[in-house]
Amino acid sequence: MHTFTLRTLSKAVSLVILGGLLGACQDEASTPEPQKEASPMYAKGLTLTVPSDTDLVDTEIVSPSLAPINTNTDYVSFISPLYGEYQASQPVLEQASQSDEYWLNVTGAELNAGVTLTMSQAASLVRIAPRSDLSSGALMHAEAIAPERVQIQRIGQAPQGKAASSSPQASESLVKSMVSAEALASAGLVDDSSALQMSEKATAGEYRLQVNQPLTPSANYLVNVKEKGSPYQLSLKAPTAVAADAQSVGIKLALSQSDNQFAPQAKLKQADGEIQTIAMVKRGDTWQAQIPQGMQLANSNAGFSEIEVTVQTQVDGRPVQRTVKSVFKSYVNSASIKPEVLTVWDKGLPNQVNFELNIAETGRFGLSGVLTGTNAEGQRVAIMRTQAANWLTPESSKLKLMFDPKLIQASGLQPPFELNELELQDQGQMARLSFQANALVLTR
Amino acid sequence: MKINKALMLLGLLAVSPATLAATGIAFIHGTGHQTNALADYWTPEFVNSVRQGIPVPNNYTVINCDFDQYMWEETAAGCLATQLNSFIQAKNIDDLILLTHSNGGNVVRWILSNPTWDSRYPAVINATSKVIALAPSSAGTPLADAVNQGNVFETSLGWLLGYGSNAVKQQQVGWMANYNNTWLYGTSGRPSLGKPFEVVVGSDVDSAIWDSDSYCAGYQYQVALETTQNWLDSCSDGFLNCSSQKAAGTVWFTDKQKTGGQEPLSHQQSRRACFNLDTLIRNHI
């Protein structure tokens, strides 16, 4: 006859808890069955560590308004073995980009009448690309421009270009070469654009670009001036993700070789190509792109939104114009992780962590984390990355991260075991919702 | 009698396909909607040469999917996973080599990085032993940025990028940086892909009309290459900067280190039997 001890009582209670817990879990096939009294498996409640200042954790949740892009309803769990001393990684929250070019939108009528371009150095490239127009309700695509029908002249001087003069010397003095849309497409520029490579004689200054080919007056074109190697680089730093209800987006701008003040102009471009003008306001050393009330930062969960910033100024007497863009994900914080978790242990090793999420709407959510153990020198060593995702509802919002006991045993590592880089994703929005570098110390 | 039955069963199991695991290779195209990638993207000459490098050369598949879409879409990664799983099951592949070109490397990285996105992905990851990525557009290309400037709703047909598609948007430099920092593994500071991702880098373009090498899937328009060079570094394959090709995984070799005649591989040439590329891959796998 077995003696009924406090320890067996504790085990029995654990198994009851475990049974209830596992019953609520989604992956029946891979869940270890709670065994009889002699089972070494038990459950233990733990609490996530308090997020640090560098963690991304927001407990306020909001319902998404855009259609989800991943509606798979399967529970999927995956474990990848990791080796070596653990190197903690942090998500990149800021992007940097720089530009030595600018672009502007013009109509066919404007190109036929002539548009003014600024160039800050010799041998710039001028590209003219037809663009689309939906203003009539139907998609209209402008026709490509034959480069030999383009003329370019320095403002205040006689026209230059093949179409402008019968003198070969004159026509070749400002334009070094010209490229048709067909030729550019063969080299990877597939937007029907044609280009003029300016010569060394086309030095910094203002130029007039005119197209002699009759164009549809309302047709849209893009004129792109590229100044490779220019010392005048417009640099931008901006966030990689922006909350959908943000009223402004902070952008740091700097033009190299210049301390001049400038007044940037900005446009919001959504993933489908729709563009709207937005205002820029300076606060301290940061520009704020103002998002008008009612304007959506994104109209789809697919792709990214962009803010294009154009700057015009003078540097050392040269006209400098630059366009640079930021790329960001617009998202809503549709879920958060509840700090109380239930860990399951098997033969003294962590087997799984069961999370419960606060979610605003039904959707597909994913969790991932890195399990580490401790070596003889007391260093944290990575054992595995564990990931899981499932279709969750506000009423059924549990998600478990599994561990592979064979990998833990093979590692030879000892406690404390820790769960790091705990990341919550909304796969419907394709957005990272939270990240905690050191999320949980797994104590038996 | 029972013993005989048991022996027969054991014999059957011994020769059953389920017990004969095998090496296989999949050819995964780049941007574009392919329906006959063997003829239209790779060429039979290249595929038939490379597949001789595995023990059973017939264990190969040429993928045909719609890679004009975002990498994560059903018609892109979903299609790829379906075709790979069919191949894995049909041939009992447990040592799968994925040979990708250009944006095909991004679609494969998507699957390797996001096993929980779709229940078809884990089986592909588990079977994969390595990826050989020919000129992958891991950090995008400034040419994709250029064709997306302004209000782009559609663009004309081109042989490199395809239409003004979501795949082209995806390969803008800033977009790939964002994907690399959030959804894709394998770049600096990000988790490892978990499988070797061996990169062949194209570093230059020979296009001089007097150079016969430029006629192996070569360019016709020298002046067009000079124009696009305005967006590219001095080290590029005419479409992708070397830095983009090297952004994920590890470099197996940069073209001139191993190619016949130390010739560079342009972006077109890195999917063709040019300058012994096919032989190099065949001997490597």
What is the sign of the dihedral through the CA atoms of B10, B15, B17 and B20? Answer: positive
pLDDT the model gives residue B207: 66
- The answer to whether A204 and A319 are in contact (CB under 8 A) is yes
CA gap A243, A216 in Å, rounded: 41
CA gap A303, A327 in Å, rounded: 10
Instruction: Show the tokens assigned to A80.
Output: 């990848």
Give the residue among A345, A341, A418, A336 at the shortest CA–CA distance from A375: A418
Which of B122, B190, B221 minimises the CB distance to A186?
Answer: B221
* Best mutation target, A186, A230, A370, A435, to test chain B (most B CBs within 10 A): A186
Task: Give the DSSP letter of residue B78.
Answer: I
Summarize pLDDT for A383-404 with one digit per residue, the tens: 999 999 999 999 999 999 999 9
Q: Which residues of A touch B214 (CB under 8 A)?
A: none
pLDDT at residue B11 tops 80: no
Summarize pLDDT for B120-173 with one digit per residue, the tens: 999 999 999 999 999 999 999 999 999 988 866 544 433 343 446 899 999 999
pLDDT at residue A344 tops 90: yes
Q: Which residues of A touch B154 (CB under 8 A)?
A: 132, 139, 141
pLDDT the model gives residue A244: 94
Q: Which residues of A touch B119 (CB under 8 A)?
A: 72, 74, 76
Contact A139 B118 (CB under 8 A): no
- The answer to whether B221 and A181 are in contact (CB under 8 A) is no
The structure's pTM equals 0.89
Chain B touched by A139 (CB under 8 Å): yes
Summarize pLDDT for A25-37 with one digit per residue, the tens: 444 334 444 444 4
Residue type, A353: V
State which residue of chain A sits closest to B233, comparing Cα positions. A228
Which of A70, A191, A197 minimises the CB distance to B156?
Answer: A191
Contact A131 B238 (CB under 8 A): no
Chain B touched by A85 (CB under 8 Å): no
Instruction: Show the tokens assigned to B234.
Output: 């001095």
Residue type, A413: L
State which residue of chain A sits closest to B119, comparing Cα positions. A76
Residues of chain B above pLDDT 90, percent? 77
The pLDDT-based confidence of B223 (bands split at 50, 70, 90) is confident
CA gap A256, A230 in Å, rounded: 10
Which of A76, A144, A187 minimises the CB distance to B224?
Answer: A187
CA gap A166, A227 in Å, rounded: 28
Give the residue among B223, B244, B227, B235 at the shortest CA–CA distance from B266: B235
Summarize the confidence of residues B186-202 as an average pLDDT.
Answer: 95
Summarize the confidence of residues A48-53 as an average pLDDT.
Answer: 96
Burial of A4 (0-12, 13-18, 19+ CB in 10 A): exposed
Which of A78, A97, A187 minimises the CB distance to B115?
Answer: A78
Chain B touched by A366 (CB under 8 Å): yes
Q: Which residue has the higher pLDDT, A21 or A202?
A: A202
**Tokens 């490199």 -> residue:** B160
Residues ≥6 apart with Cβ < 8 Å to A134: A140, B153
Q: Which residues of A touch B157 (CB under 8 A)?
A: 185, 190
Distance from CA of A1 to the nearest CA of B (A): 43
Mean pLDDT (chain B, rounded): 88
Contact B147 A72 (CB under 8 A): no
State which residue of chain B sits closest to A270, comparing Cα positions. B151
Rg of chain B over Cα atoms, rounded to whole angstroms, equals 20
Count of beta carbons in the 10 Å neighbourhood of residue A77: 23
Contact A76 B118 (CB under 8 A): yes
Q: CA separation (Å) from A317 to A126, A187, A205, A241, A258?
A: 21, 36, 9, 38, 11
Summarize pLDDT for A198-239 with one digit per residue, the tens: 999 999 999 999 999 999 999 999 999 999 999 999 999 999
- The answer to whether A136 and A206 are in contact (CB under 8 A) is no
Summarize the confidence of residues A289-316 as an average pLDDT.
Answer: 93
Mean pLDDT (chain A, rounded): 88
pLDDT at residue A310 tops 90: yes
CA gap B198, A261 in Å, rounded: 47
Which of A144, A188, A388 minimises the CB distance to B161?
Answer: A188
